């Protein structure tokens, strides 16, 4: 059984969400509720919950303020927000769960299930450290969480040279570190990393353009990375890729 607290400043929304949680998530017991940063911190310190449903926008600060004032954080958090803003990308990169208002029942159930499964202290510490880094650091210094079958890594995005796919798996290749295999599709990472200088050059290859070295035109085209890796360029991507290179000048 998970002991949970919900922090949201709009009382009618908070009541509605509590009713939904009680109805759909019998493994969760709501032990307290709060409407701002101060009362939320007080409730967490008093009840020591396993899980906190945390609104981002609060009258006296933000949900991030709650966590930063309670570090280290040893409970799971599911963020709740009414806006698809900058924080959403930070959540995705940090493997943090979030729900958009109004809550979708199936997404709520899935998020709670993940909270039950992912409650190891070491994993929580790493995820929140990565979240804070993504919020505080410049765009080009952001980190991403990579979860393998037996480990969880927090890596600097700029250390990724390229990614390769094999069906539903993606392998990350680094400049000075062993490769990492995760059970997430390359398409998912293309969507996450596209704004960070990554380009999908082939169905099976996503490259970090910071490590692009040169392009060989012969035999349809081959991309050579700075680590001497050769990456094929799909014919359908050639024109778009050459235009990308032109715009980099």
Convert the pLDDT of each residue in 165-190 to its tens digit.
998 999 999 988 999 999 999 999 99
The 8-class DSSP code of residue 220 comes to G
Residue 141: per-residue pLDDT: 66
Q: Is the peptide bond before 139 cis (omega within 30 degrees of 0)?
A: no
Q: If you compute the radius of gyration of the chain from its CA atoms, what whole number of angstroms results?
A: 21
Task: Please list, residue by residue across 210-227, b when 16 or more beta carbons sit within 10 angstroms of its beta carbon and e when fewer do.
Answer: bbbeebeeeeebebebee
pLDDT value at residue 90: 85
Superfamily holding 2-135: Response regulator (3.40.50.2300)
Q: Are 177 and 159 in contact (CB under 8 A)?
A: yes
Query: What tens digit of pLDDT does each residue of 81-128 get?
Result: 887 666 788 888 898 999 999 999 999 999 999 999 877 777 888 999
What confidence score (pLDDT) does residue 139 get? Answer: 64
Give the closest residue to 204 by CA, choosing from 234, 243, 225, 230.
Answer: 234
What pLDDT is recorded for position 241?
Answer: 95
pLDDT exceeds 70 at position 15: yes
| pLDDT digits 0-9 by tens, 186-233 | 999 999 999 899 999 999 999 999 999 999 988 888 999 999 999 999
The pLDDT score that the predictor gives to residue 84 is 65
Residue ranges of the domains in the chain?
A: 2-135, 148-247
**Bigger pLDDT: 192 or 141?**
192
Burial class (CB in 10 A: 0-12, 13-18, 19+), 209: middle
Fold of 148-247: OB fold (Dihydrolipoamide Acetyltransferase, E2P) (2.40.50)
Q: What is the mean pLDDT of residues 29-52?
A: 97
Predicted confidence at residue 86, as pLDDT, reads 65
The per-residue pLDDT for 168 is 92
> Would you state the pLDDT for residue 110?
96
What is the tens place of the pLDDT at every residue in 51-87?
999 999 999 999 999 999 998 899 999 999 887 666 7
């Amino acid at each position: 059984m998970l002991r949970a607290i919900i922090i949201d400043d709009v009382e009618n929304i908070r009541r509605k969400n509590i009713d939904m949680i009680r109805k759909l998530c019998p493994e969760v017991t709501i032990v307290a509720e709060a409407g701002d940063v101060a009362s939320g911190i007080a409730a967490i310190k008093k009840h020591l919950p396993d899980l906190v449903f945390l609104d981002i926008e609060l009258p006296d600060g933000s949900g991030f303020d709650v966590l930063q004032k309670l570090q280290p954080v040893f409970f799971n958090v599911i963020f709740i927000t009414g806006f698809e803003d900058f924080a959403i990308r930070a959540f995705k990169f940090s493997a943090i769960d979030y729900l958009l208002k109004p809550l979708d029942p199936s997404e709520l159930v899935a998020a709670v299930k993940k909270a039950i499964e992912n409650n190891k202290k070491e994993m929580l510490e790493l995820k929140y450290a990565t979240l804070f880094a993504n919020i505080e650091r410049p765009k080009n210094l952001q980190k991403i969480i990579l979860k393998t079958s037996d480990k969880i890594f927090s890596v600097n995005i700029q250390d990724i040279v390229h990614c390769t796919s094999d069906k539903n798996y993606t392998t990350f290749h680094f400049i000075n570190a062993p490769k990492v295999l995760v059970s997430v599709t390359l398409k998912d990472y293309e969507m996450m990393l596209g704004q960070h200088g990554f380009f999908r050059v082939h169905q099976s290859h996503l490259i970090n353009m910071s490590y692009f070295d040169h392009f060989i035109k012969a035999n349809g085209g081959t991309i050579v990375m700075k680590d001497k890796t050769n990456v094929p360029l799909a014919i359908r991507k050639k024109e778009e890729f050459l235009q990308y290179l032109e715009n980099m000048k």
